[in-house]
């Protein structure tokens, strides 16, 4: 069975959501000096490829360590949304109706990783998020955010705040963000993205990968 890695590597000074903690990896112990190697990792809970728990935006939402591990393995359907302009909305008509557990939004925005344009990604409209809830989908995306990310390029007609997050997480639908390499997988595949088990965590980094026939 083929596998495909869908994660960005975690490294110092990598992209993060505006205002989130910067990422730093630094030697703590080295093989030459200490006989073993340990790296000090300083980062936020939504660093890199990660899963959002309902408690990320919902005061009564459950934390990541209360989500059963079975929820982090999905029968996923990929929808190809590449070729769109910056900050374009993803609407219900753009999304499939299927028996999958998760919809994976392939915007192609992982190609902008590390560039300023990465923050001006396509985003889910509140109505599209409601469509996903109605279909019973968890949602994954190869961009920073399912909502519009605030930048100087934001327009007045964009949804404000975290409306897609509230619609999804408020209905116990999980969100996976910052996927990569979706061009390597078929339309239907198994997505695995098990997060670190952070106590009372609002989310956590993952090593996401695909398995397919």
The residues that are catalytic are 56
What are the residues whose beta carbons fall under 8 Å from the beta carbon of 42, sequence distance 6 or more?
Answer: 21, 22, 23, 24, 25, 26
Give the whole-angstrom CA distance, residue 20 versus residue 195: 18
The full 3-state SS of the chain, as one line of letters, equals: CCEEECCCCCCCCCCCCCCCCCCEEEEEECHHHHCCCEEEEECCCCCCCEEECHHHCCCCCCCHHHCCHHHHEEEEEEEECCCCCCCCEECHHHCCCCCCCEEEEECCHHHHCCCHHHHCCCEECHHHHHHHHHHCCEEEECCCCCCCCCCCCCCCCCCCCCHHHHHHHCCCCCEEECCCCHHHCCCEEEEECCECCCCCCCEEEECCEEECC
> What is the C-alpha separation between 179 and 62, in angstroms, rounded?
23
């Amino acid at each position: 069975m083929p596998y495909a890695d869908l994660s960005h590597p975690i490294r110092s000074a990598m992209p993060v959501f505006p205002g989130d903690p910067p990422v730093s990896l630094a030697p703590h112990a080295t093989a030459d000096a200490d006989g073993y190697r340990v790296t000090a990792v300083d980062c936020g809970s939504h660093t890199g490829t990660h899963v959002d728990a309902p408690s990320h935006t919902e005061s009564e939402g459950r934390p990541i360590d209360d989500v059963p591990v079975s929820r982090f393995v999905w029968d996923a359907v990929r929808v190809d949304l590449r070729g769109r302009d910056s900050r374009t909305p993803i609407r219900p008509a753009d999304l499939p109706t299927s028996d999958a557990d998760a919809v994976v939004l392939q915007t192609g925005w992982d190609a902008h990783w590390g560039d300023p344009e990465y923050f001006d990604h396509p985003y889910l409209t509140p109505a599209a998020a409601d469509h996903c809830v109605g279909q019973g989908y968890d949602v994954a995306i190869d961009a920073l955010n399912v909502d519009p990310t605030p930048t100087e390029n934001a327009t007045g007609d964009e949804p404000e705040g975290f409306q897609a997050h509230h619609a999804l997480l408020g209905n116990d639908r999980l969100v996976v963000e910052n996927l990569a390499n979706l061009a390597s997988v078929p339309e239907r595949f198994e997505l695995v993205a098990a997060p670190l088990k952070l106590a009372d965590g609002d989310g956590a980094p993952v090593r996401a990968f695909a398995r397919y026939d």
